[in-house]
Structure 1
């Protein structure tokens, strides 16, 4: 048993407030991993010692243990505490909850120790209130009242009943009493008397480096130690003739090693293999049968409508014919979402350029490399909802009036960001019927299944790797959960119409990337650069598209005419890299969108206000 002081505890600081859902999920995952690691390792740990007092010592600790025939110990402890001038609450008793016993079948095991009927008196009038809490290896009893601290010399008498200290059988019956002297307190004098029902054949004291002696006389074993310092362990042992103790209440716990929990034997390996094969097979089957695109097996990919009798097959067309125009009746953001299966900032940037090309705004390049946007008088009532949202975010209503001039800097501070625009693009694509299940819903379902299976595998460690010794089963279940999470990007599945539109879009993208000026009828094509620039942005090939036309302009083979884009009109630099500057417009606008989204997530008034 350990005896130490209970110090004056400083008040705990209040928490910093509720954490977000992501942090709570992270804490739950960390807790599950920590619990699983502790169970797998199976290493016994001692309870963390409470801090000892800054000053003070136990001038004497005298213990008397009387054993009956059933191995029940009646313990009395008389101790003298010299607290000096530093106020302390009182002593702390550390009674073991388990004692290491002989191995069984090669495994370490522990004898359970139960303590009851704890009573405290103090001849010097100190507080005798008792508070207790349990750790893994110890039960701590804190004596005293925090509101009535003591100084000077105080005396205490503690009584308790302890079961589990006697181990019968073998050649002799054994008694073990760990007196673990922990904390910063120093014990000047320690004595213990053990009274057995029959003669004590022998006794010893494992001192851990302290000066400890043991004596026997008849049914009594005596132990004594002097100047026991902090963190010294005293284990008292006494041996009686076999049969001295009868009907002893014995309760053992076995410590399993990592090899016990992962035996790598037949049941463990076979079961894990079955789980991996079945779980992995189901995941791959779902990917193959449910998550692959449906497409028409037309002779020419992208044909809408397909020839009569065309079969619907699974998969993606690897070779599509090049085409010089985008899919009919579509917009860049919609087709970009169809290809990427998620709304991106590039899709919103493409929408902004598309609205400018269609006459809803004009774009102006400034001397300081900034960009200004001016709203035109063109009515936006016929636009799609996400397109109207872009205009409202760029030109919001402030104090009852709609802003008609804005910049990338102001867009980066747009209230609420552009989340509603991205959601609007998702809804529009869902309305067009290009995906069998909306991409965000498909990914959410996959994420939920993977998380449940993965956490289930971690939590199954308690049962499978614990009592059953089937740790590989838990590893296999967790691996299946991770596999499901890994295939999240493959979840959205396109309909035959969606696949056909995608095939047309990929053919048009090939045209934008591999543009041959000799094959273009410039008289018929008109302002092909501006008309297809939003599509190049949506496809992620805007830089190559702009650079190609800048070269043609520098060579004099192409003379751009814009009504939606105005360069440096009053600058001698006018005409120098006017098309190339649009590359910076695309980057700056996408950066402004990212800042607006980040600021909206922080919900900071300083950055969300116009």
Structure 2
């Protein structure tokens, strides 16, 4: 806030509450020491302040030396014609005895109130930061936003300093010179902000500008105090400031002729001058929290990998019957030990598919997923079993081929349909007994999803899985997605929320980055390994072994093993399984040889009754090719959804310590 006439009023110190994601971080922050040497204050940690004694030096004698303080603070302020100031701080810092630190920080105020406004504040843009050390201390530089301040962190995370070190810090603050309105311009600057947390000794300041300083004043003490200190105007105004205890500041004022400057319009911005962008804790607490955040960020992926690996090992591996040939199940009443193993069962050739196991079930038990190809192969299987016919319609040169599906009455004695098969048939023929495949586009997906859910329920009902593989995977993938999403949100929003907590940590990167990165990596690990959590029961492994054995038969069958009069029936019954297993072309080639041999002997192999298409010319290869094409087109048709047009459906006064602009305070880290 500022007083009338453009002069800033005191900026009251406010301590922002610590906001943390992890409860353990909160507890550590609250457990941080609250003594005078570590109590959190805006801009730095509070040092041990020596008591003041009444004397002749500006009303107080110099404060006694503290464990940590500025032994020397000489500040030079050079006003520029554009209204900015160049500030040079020559600081000799005394570090705590017996402790090694990495360097110091300077918290420079860049926001100040404006005319008692709650919605606007003055902004002094910080730029041109340079640091040197005549004593050779590390001068690596990091500048961070810290609410109303910008923190200049000086030093190296990998090097330490002790004793005392000297630093020369230079920076520019824009729009700091005030137009008073009476023909004068004024520099009103907090050499030491009252939020300062450590004693300051041997404090001096000078102010110069494009013209001679016509009037000078100086004020010291806590925020709002009016204790004067010696100030001399002239070509360069000089100020001799008494030693300051913690939470005492010093402001200097220098007046210039207004015509020595150009435009002095202040930089006004919307918001609150006291708004904080980070919680402030003591350097010791910041180091503890930083270590905890980095450790947590590193451990999260390791714990996720170890935990998920253990779960996959104990719960994500298939069961098998011990002592039985793979593919066999114990007889009624027999007790057989069940073991958990990650090895695939050894299989032998099996000349028939698993008894009572439809092609869609084979596909689901093989890869633990009810894929769209399993659904389309089920349609072919239902056709083979007499529930519908498939007729291919040539689309010509300008339109793709289509298929006409016609519902038929199943033969007498046909086996009852499974729940998912009945749902599939009813969903296809909801509009009538004859349906073109293309007509199902953009409207069949809800039925497809229902059929797939019922297929997962069916494999659980048959005892092949203890839980739906889809739900097991979805649960773990969802958890991993949430963890990774929290990490991404942390990168986007957490920098401003938690950056201040770790500003005094000793790490070369912000610990919050490591923490949020660990969340992302840990989430991805959970997602990846969670997909392996579905496991077959011993009965499911037996069906798997039988299915693999039948797959061997489909890929090794020879034409001379098949009787001519049975060729059409065997080809049709096993074709849906070949589609699921991806060997339909190989299966058809075997029957092409059978048909050729039969034709040479004068026997004509009839075509499948359930398929209407070119037979004499294409034969078994043509049927297999057509069914592969049908499965591909059906897959795209079943998963299609209506597109969006992208348009709306509705068509739519006096001076005092702490009253200046800018200003700084500091501490060590």
* Structure 1 portions without partners, runs of 5+: 3-30, 33-66, 71-92, 121-128, 141-153, 180-187, 204-212, 233-250, 398-402, 605-610
CA contact (8 A) 2:319 2:339 kept: yes
Q: Does 1:226 align with 2:261?
A: yes
Shift of 1:214: 5.5
Residue 311 of structure 2: aligned partner: 286
1:202-601 equivalences under 5 Å are 215=237, 221-222=254-255, 225-227=260-262, 278-305=303-330, 308=334, 310-315=336-341, 316-368=343-395, 369-378=401-410, 382-397=416-431, 403-417=432-446, 418-454=448-484, 462=498, 471=511, 475-476=517-518, 478-523=520-565, 527-554=569-596, 556=598, 559-568=605-614, 574-576=616-618, 579-599=621-641
TM-aligned CA deviation for residue 489 of structure 1 = 2.4
Distance 1:276 1:195, change over 3 A: same
User: In structure 1, what is the equivalent of residue 224 of structure 2?
Assistant: none
Q: Which residue is 2:69 aligned to?
A: none
Structure 2: runs of 5+ lacking an equivalent: 3-20, 23-57, 63-82, 96-100, 124-144, 150-179, 219-227, 241-251, 268-278, 396-400, 647-669
Q: Deviations over 1:287-320 (max 9, x none)?
A: 1111100111244210022694533111243420
Q: Distance in 1 between matches of 2:475 and 2:457?
A: 18
The size of the alignment, in residue pairs, is 449
Could you say if the C-alpha distance between residues 382 and 299 of structure 1 is closer, same or farther in structure 2, counting changes exceeding 3 Å?
A: closer
CA–CA separation in structure 1 for the residues paired with 2:84 and 2:368: 62
Separation in structure 2 between the aligned mates of residue 280 and residue 323 of structure 1, nearest angstrom: 39
**Alignment partner for residue 132 of structure 1, among 120, 141, 154?**
120
| 3-state SS in 2 of match to 1:443 | helix
Report the Cα offset of residue 333 of structure 1. 0.7
Compared CA separation, residues 407 and 172, structure 1 to 2 (3 A): same
Aligned residues of 1:118 and 1:158 also touching (Cα < 8 A):
no
Contact between 2:350 and 2:553, CA under 8 Å: does it hold in 1? yes
Write the distance in 1 (CA, Å) between the matches of 2:623 and 2:265. Answer: 75
Specify whether residues 165 and 413 from structure 1 end up closer, same or farther in structure 2 by C-alpha distance, changes over 3 A only: closer
How much has 1:429 moved relative to structure 2? 1.5
Q: 1:131 to 1:383 in 2, by over 3 A?
A: same
CA offset digits 1:370-418 (Å, max 9, x no partner)? 3221111339993222112222222113xxxxx1222221122434442
Residues 577-608 of structure 1 show CA distances to partners (whole Å, capped at 9, x for unaligned) of 5632542433344333333423168799xxxx
The superposition leaves residues 18-48 of structure 1 with CA deviations (integer Å, 9 ceiling, x where unpaired) of xxxxxxxxxxxxx99xxxxxxxxxxxxxxxx
- What is the CA distance between 1:190 and its match in structure 2? 13
Q: Is the 8 A contact 1:111 1:253 kept in 2?
A: no
**Higher RCO (CA < 8 A, seq sep 6+):** 2
Greater share of residues in strand: 1
CA, structure 1 residues 412+260, in 2 after alignment: closer, same or farther (shift >3 Å)?
same
Change in CA separation of 1:376 and 1:230 when aligned onto 2, cut-off 3 Å: farther
Structure 1 residue matching 2:439: 3-state secondary structure: helix
Indicate the RMSD between aligned Cα atoms, in angstroms: 5.4
Whole-angstrom distance in 1 between the partners of 2:329 and 2:387: 31
Q: How big is the shift at 1:360?
A: 0.8
Counterparts of 1:201 and 1:388 in 2: how far apart (Å)? 99
User: Partners in 1 of 2:473 and 2:487 — Cα distance?
Assistant: 21
Query: How far apart, CA to CA, are the structure 2 residues paired with 1:404 and 1:100?
Result: 92
Q: What is the DSSP-based 3-state SS (H/G/I as helix, E as strand, rest coil) of the residue aligned with 1:492?
A: coil
TM-score with structure 1 setting the length: 0.59
If the length of structure 2 is used for normalisation, what is the TM-score? 0.54
